[in-house]
Structure 1
């Protein structure tokens, strides 16, 4: 190589020029190529919840390794599951335990699809798993677990008709949210909504 005669920019200057050339390249693509994509534009119509009731959600960090990329989550409304009778629905809620909730999970992917209380009469079930190395394997485990719960709920459902459904996990979540349905600290400024649980048993 020839000796440097101070007639060129430094390596840092070349890197800056390289970044500017890359920026200009993408600006040209935006100016010339992106308008051509308008011909392929299609209107988006959300699929009704009754036609696609099961939501499968996985995480991705753009190819970067992360422990959360293995996780898979399945959410489904209980009303659209193949349960044979109201007693089977009751038993399904008992078997689901804390995985069953009355409200639509915020991360379920059902935003804009639940209209006029559609499918929310019996709540939702949410199953997640992350023990296997691939998200597809965890999704398969969640799917198999949901099928086993449905199969077990349809067996001899009347035997569990008198067992009450526990709402303790729902009440605990409301307590953690601190939105007025709980008591923060005893005092005149703290309050909670009065329910039947606040009345002494001897008064009933």
Structure 2
């Protein structure tokens, strides 16, 4: 169970393997596509190894881990214990920006998909559905929201990993080209 939730929360946090961030990386203006691959790797590293590890250390070292409190409440308690009221406000503000930017980001990704798949038709329906799901999402039990997120994230990984395997030869060729033709000073 610990592995299941660890993988699910890690996937939710960094989206590695889901195929969600290529939308954002595809619009970047770079000299070589490998540059954006490296940026994507750095993003996962910062999110997973720095932010999440730091959060885990705060939880483990502040003495708030009681086996009853979980999730954001546990994190907020830990930061409050370590930093006083500033910790509580910091987590509240960080959570707000995380939630807001997540809604904006996923909206952008979804709109790009609707434009591509349906040649721009159906955008108003998509926008309406997004607004409805945002409102409905605030009324659902948190456990149900997490289960839905975990399920749909897992479903996104399957076709993306298949595509990653199918495209691995192109990735290797691109990396070889990048290593042969670009130097750090050229970037």
Q: Relative CO higher for 1 or 2, CA cutoff 8 Å, sep ≥ 6?
A: 2
Structure having the higher strand fraction is 1
Rg (Cα) greater in structure = 1
Structure having the higher helix fraction is 2
TM > 0.5 fold call: no
Give the TM-score taking structure 1 as reference length: 0.27
